[in-house]
Amino acid sequence: MNSPNSFRNQPDERGHFGGYGGRYVAETLMPLILELEAAYRAAQADPSFQAEFDDLMANYVGRPSPLYFAPRLTEALGGAQIWFKRDELNHTGAHKINNCIGQILLAIRMGKKKIIAETGAGQHGVATATVCARFGLPCTIFMGATDVSRQQPNVFRMKLLGAEVIPVTSGAATLKDAMNEALRHWVANVEDTFYIIGTAAGPHPYPEMVRDFQSVIGKEARAQMLERTGRLPDLLVAAIGGGSNAIGLFHPFLDDAEVKMLGVEAAGHGLDKQHAASLAGGFPGVLHGNKTYLLQDEDGQIAEAHSISAGLDYPGIGPEHAWLKETGRVEYTAIDDNEALDAFQILCRTEGIIPALEPSHAIAAVARRAKEMDRDAIILANLCGRGDKDIFTVAEALGVEM
Amino acid sequence: MSQRLASAFARGRPALVCFLTAGDGDTASNLDALVAGGADVIELGMPFTDPMADGPAIQAANIRSLAAGTTNRDVLLIANEFRERHPDVPLVLMGYANPMIRRGPEWFASEASACGVDGVICVDIPPEEDDALGPALRDAGIDLIRLATPTTDARRLPTVLEGSSGFVYYVSVAGITGLQQANTASIESAVARLKAATDLPIAVGFGVRTPEQAGAIARVADGVVVGSALVELVEHHGVHAPEHIRALTASLAEAVHAQNKEIAG
C-alpha cells in the first residue's frame, strides 16, 4: 500500500498527475478510452495477465536485462561509479518492446482485430510490428515522411515484419504529425482498432499504463542493485523524449528518498535555438490527449521540435514528468546534439557499447555529474536503446561518408 | 442560451450552419457571402497547428491561415468586425483546446464575449475535462456547444448534455471532417435518441457537401452543418471565393429551409 504522501500513487481516478494528464480527446474516442481503462483495470486484477506478460518478458524479450558496472567509463570520467541498466539488450534493441508486449496482450483481451501505432525514429514502430507478427494481428504504422526518408533501415524492418508503413506528409512530416494521423485513423476505426501508444503520454490511461509496463526496468534495477551492492544508487539518470524509459526506471524508486533522479531532455541546437526540451523551454498546454509541458508560442500553436535523436524529437512530454518536475522530486536538465555525440563516442571507446542517440543524452548528463560526486557514489543510467539505427546519422554529423 | 442562437433555431424551419477557417483567404468577405447566401449560424474555425479531428480540406486551411500569420487576436478581430456588420447573426468559434486556454480560459472567454461570440465548440475538451474551459465560458455567458457522436451511447449521453447549451452538434460519422457521410436512416435514429434526452436543438454535420444531402438531413434535424465543401471553395477560388461561397450557401439554404420542422421540437 502506498502512503497518502507517496509519489507512486498518481494518477488520480480521472487520470490527472497533479494538474497534468487527463483525457483531452474528441468525443468519438471518449467511450473507447473509458472502455480501455476498464479493460486495463480488469487485466491488472487478473493474475493470468501478469503471468503471460512475465513469461514473454523472460522468454521472448530476454529479461531481466543485465545491470552492468562500467569500469572504464567510470575511470575515464573520474568520479562516481557508473552503472547501466542494459535495456538495449532487449529483443528489437530498445525498451520499447516492454510496453508493446503489455499493450498487445490488452488489445487481444479486448477483442481488437487491428493494431495501429505512430513512430518517430522507428523503434516503437519496429517493436509494434514485432508484437503484431508474434500475435498475428495486422499492423499499420504512421510515420512522418521526413522520418521515413531518414530512417530507411527501420522502415525496411517494419515491412519485413509484415507491417504497413504509411508516410505522413501533413505538417512538418515528423513524429507529431504521425501522431495526429494515427489519431485521425483511430477515430475512423474505433470499433476494431487498438492504438499502441509508444510513450508515457496521450490520454489517460496511456501514461499510467505505459509507465506500469515500463516499470519492469526500475523494479529489476532496484532488486539487482540491492543484490549486487547492498544499497540503492545515489542518482538515476535517463533520457526523455515522451519519457517512457525514464518513468520506467524512476517510478519504482520514487519513494526512496535517498535516491536522486535526473531526467535528460534534448537541447538540440541549443535551448536558445531549436530543441526538444519541453520542460526547460515549454509551457503547460493540451496536445494529443493530455495536459503537459509543450513547446508552443504565445497563441498556443505547437512548435517544431529538433533533436539529432529522432526518438527525442517531440514537442511534448509525458504528464507524470510534468508533475514530478513541479513537485521537485525529479530534476530535469537538457543536453545538446554535440554533447550527445561526444558521449556516444566515449561509450563506444571505453566500454565497447554503441548506444542509441537517445541514451547518449543521458550519458552526457552522467559525465557532467560523475565528476562532482564521490568515488563511492553510484550513478545508474538507463541504456534504453542500442545505436545500430543511428550510425548513419552519427556518420553524417561527424562528416564521415558511408 | 444566447438569444441569437435561440432565435436561429426558432424560425419554424431547420437552420443552416456554415463553417470557414479564420484567416484563410479574405475571411470577412467570405463570411459576408455566407450571410448573403442565407446561412443561419456562422461557425468560425480558429486555426491550430495540430487539427487532429479534421480531414485534409480543413487541415490545409489551418496551415494556410497560420502560414499567413493569423494570430488569436486576428481571429477575435474578425469576430468583432463580423458582429459589427451583422448584429443579429449568431457566431460560434470552433477549435482546439490549446489556443483557447493558452492565456487562461478566463482571458479567452472574456475576449470572445466582448467580440460578440455566442458559442464555442472545442473539439478536444470532453465533459470529463470541462474544468479547463466550461466554467469560464458559462461565466461569460457563452454557450459551450458539445459534440455527440455515433459512439456516444445512451449511458454516456447525460454526461455530454450536462453543461451543454446553444445546440448539440451531432457528428454523424465516427471519423474526421469532410470525408464520408452517414446514411439518413442512422442520422434519423440518432437524432431521435438525442431529442428524447434534451430540449436543445440538434445540428448534424460531418461529410455534408451537397444541397441534396443537406435537405435530407434537414428533414430530421434542427440544423445542418457544412464545412469542408465551403473551405474547399476558399482554396480553389482565392479572391473570387465569395461569389462561389454565396452560390453554394444559397443552394444549401434553399434545400435546408424547404423542410418543415414537424419532427423538430
pLDDT of residue A22: 98
CB B98 within 8 A of CB A286: yes
Contact B174 A286 (CB under 8 A): no
Q: Any idea what the Cα angle at residue A111 is, between residues A214 and A57, rounded to 5°?
A: 30
Residue B54 is among the residues annotated as catalytic for this protein? yes
pLDDT of residue B264: 44
Task: Please report the sign of the dihedral spanned by the C-alpha atoms of residue A348, residue A353, residue A358, residue A362.
Answer: negative
**CA dihedral angle for residue A90, residue A91, residue A96, residue A97, rounded to 10 degrees:** -120
Helical axes A152-160 vs A123-135, angle rounded to 10°: 10
Spatial neighbors of A185 by CB under 8 A, at least 6 apart, are A116, A140, A142, A193
Residues of A in contact with B123 (CB under 8 A): 26
Q: How far, in Å, CA of A181 to CA of A160, rounded?
A: 23
Percent of chain B with pLDDT over 90: 93
Q: pLDDT, tens digit, for every residue of B71-99? A: 999 999 999 999 999 999 999 999 999 99
Interface membership of A5 toward B (CB under 8 Å): no
Q: How far, in Å, CA of B33 to CA of B248, rounded?
A: 10
pLDDT of residue B265: 42
**How confident is the prediction along chain A (402 residues), in pLDDT tens digits per residue?**
445 689 999 999 999 999 999 999 999 999 999 999 999 999 999 999 999 999 999 999 999 999 999 999 999 999 999 999 999 999 999 999 999 999 999 999 999 999 999 998 899 999 999 999 999 999 999 999 988 987 888 999 999 999 999 999 987 788 899 999 999 999 999 999 999 999 999 999 999 999 999 999 999 999 999 999 999 999 999 999 999 999 999 999 999 999 999 999 999 999 999 999 999 999 999 999 999 999 999 999 999 999 999 889 899 999 999 999 999 999 999 999 999 999 999 999 999 999 999 999 999 999 999 999 999 999 999 999 999 989 999 999 999 998
Q: pLDDT, tens digit, for every residue of B111-121? A: 999 999 999 99
The model's pTM is 0.96
With CA atoms as reference, the chain B residue closest to A173 would be B50
Q: Which helix (H) or strand (E) holds A223?
A: helix A216-229
Listed by start position, the domains of chain B span 3-257
Q: How far, in Å, CA of B219 to CA of A346, rounded?
A: 72
- Amino acid at site A60: Y
Contact A300 B50 (CB under 8 A): no
Residues of B in contact with A34 (CB under 8 A): 156
Residue B43 is among the residues annotated as catalytic for this protein? yes
User: HSE on the CB side for B187, CA within 13 Å?
Assistant: 28
CB A211 within 8 A of CB A182: no
Catalytic pick among B24, B54, B111, B143: B54
Interface membership of A301 toward B (CB under 8 Å): yes
For testing contact with chain A, the best of B124, B145, B152, B157 (most A CBs within 10 A):
B124
Nearest to A357 by CA among A348, A369, A349: A348
Contact A285 B153 (CB under 8 A): no
Q: How far, in Å, CA of B232 to CA of B235, rounded?
A: 5
Residue B42, strand partner residues = B18, B91
C-alpha distance from residue B36 to each of A107, B11, B210 (Å):
51, 18, 18
Q: How far, in Å, CA of A253 to CA of A77, rounded?
A: 25
Residue A283, strand partner residues = A294
Helical axes A206-214 vs A319-327, angle rounded to 10°: 80
Interface membership of B257 toward A (CB under 8 Å): no
Q: How far, in Å, CA of B64 to CA of B70, rounded?
A: 9
Return the CATH number of the domain spanning residue range B3-257: 3.20.20.70
Is the predicted pLDDT of residue B127 greater than 90, yes or no?
yes
For residue B12, the tally of other CB atoms under 10 A from its CB is 8
Task: Please report the sign of the dihedral spanned by the C-alpha atoms of residue B111, residue B115, residue B118, residue B120.
Answer: negative
Spatial neighbors of A46 by CB under 8 A, at least 6 apart, are none
Give me the interface pTM, i.e. the ipTM: 0.95
Question: How close is the nearest chain B Cα to the Cα of A20, in Å?
Answer: 11
CB B149 within 8 A of CB A191: no
Q: How far, in Å, CA of A317 to CA of A285, rounded?
A: 11
**Mean per-residue pLDDT for B148-173?**
96
Is the predicted pLDDT of residue B148 greater than 60, yes or no?
yes
